[in-house]
Amino acid sequence: MSHHQVLIVGGGTAGITVAAQLRRKNRTLDVAIIEPSEVHYYQPAWTLVDAGTYDQQATKKRTEDYIPSGVAWIKDRVATISGADSKVTLESGGDVTYDYLVVAPGIQIDWHKVKGLPEALGKGGVCSNYLYDQAPYTWEVLKSLKAGDKAFFTQPNTPIKCGGAPQKIMWLTADYLRRNGLQGKVDVEMMSPGTMLFGVEVFRKQLEKVQARYGSKWSHYTNLVEIRGDKNEAVFDLIDKETGEVTGQRVEHYNMIHVVPPQSAPDFVKQSDVANADGWVEVDHNTLQHTRFPNVFSLGDAAGTPNAKTGAAVRKQAPVLVANMLRVMKEDKVTDDKRYFGYTSCPLTTGYGEMLLAEFNYKNEPDPSLPINTKKPRKSMWILKKYVLPQLYWKGMLRGRA
């Protein structure tokens, strides 16, 4: 059994950012990260890879190059967490105890919850921007579309990382078709269990204009439940908008179907005593401290906070968590002035060369961070997405500087 002063579960965006900020604040801290993967991905760029406008290789780096100096790397998977015992059990069988725990393992992709999807993925027009290896195939499928084809884009009935991801690739596909004389000749349709294009009114109105520009369709109250790869058929449940009950099914033939799979908290989180009733880590929405175990904190996709799950949220959450944890270490209470109010942003690529930066908070109110109007698609925001944000990520966030 080993012990660390601060143990971080997860070496993704949230885990490494917190570790880097902790070490910058106090280099004497004994910090360890549990992370099995030797490769770290910049996933926000995968949509651009899907659309043939970004180098896939530039979205991955070696994990070891971003583990902060002085932080121990436990290259293993977590089997269980016990907040009551201040202990994490590894899949290899060992235990790691801690004084303070940060739970940041990200989100679990549940491919199997759509019948036939794992077998169909990567062939016959079935693609997804939620896997590194799949991004080039999405581009191949997109380029192969021709008059008379049908292209569907799906969103699941679960929380997902980057809530705008289903739309981004749809708008880029629609723009590609427009630029190649195929607008109106290929059916482009979003299949969503939701009730509207976007939850924040000012951004929704802009996206409705984008939809009208491309003439794409949007079917609400539909949820993908099966892919019949041998027939190029997709099966959708139809949902009653009042009761939420399934009232029937719709079967569609596709030439392209971009699937955003169901997602959930990792199983080892759901099965632990740090989880809330929905399986996410039970934390105070503002302080990010666990509501029952004061030496446990969480941020990122696995945290039980009602914000959109994005890297931008992590950038705002990390300094709050770090400040509160350091204060608890000294005085057994969180700070009075460090609070997270749900800031997140969805960089919505609405076409080649333009992007709408939707920034908002827990109250679904616009929460701008830039000194320009980002409430409509702009070329400058495309530049931000493609060139600035990746550098901010690799050289800023993961180094504890942003």
* Catalytic residue set: 162, 346
Strands 2-9 and 95-103: parallel
Tell me the two tokens of residue 233. Answer: 């058929």
Angstrom CA distances, 168 to 129, 147, 209, 283, stand at: 10, 22, 15, 30
Strands (E), 16-160: 31-34, 39-41, 60-62, 72-74, 78-82, 87-90, 95-103, 108-109, 126-127, 150-154
Buried b / exposed e along 363-402 (16+ C-beta atoms within 10 A): eeeebeeeeeebbbbbeebbebbbeebbeebbeebbbbee
The CA distance from 325 to 147, in Å, is 57
Name the one residue in this structure whose structure tokens are 């070696």.
62
Q: Are 327 and 335 in contact (CB under 8 A)?
A: yes
Q: For residues 366 and 337, is the Cβ–Cβ distance under 8 A? A: no
In total, the chain counts a number of residues equal to: 402
Q: Which residue has the tokens 């884009």?
A: 153
Burial of residue 220 (number of CB atoms within 10 Å: 0-12, 13-18, 19+)? middle
Assigned token pair, 276: 């809330």
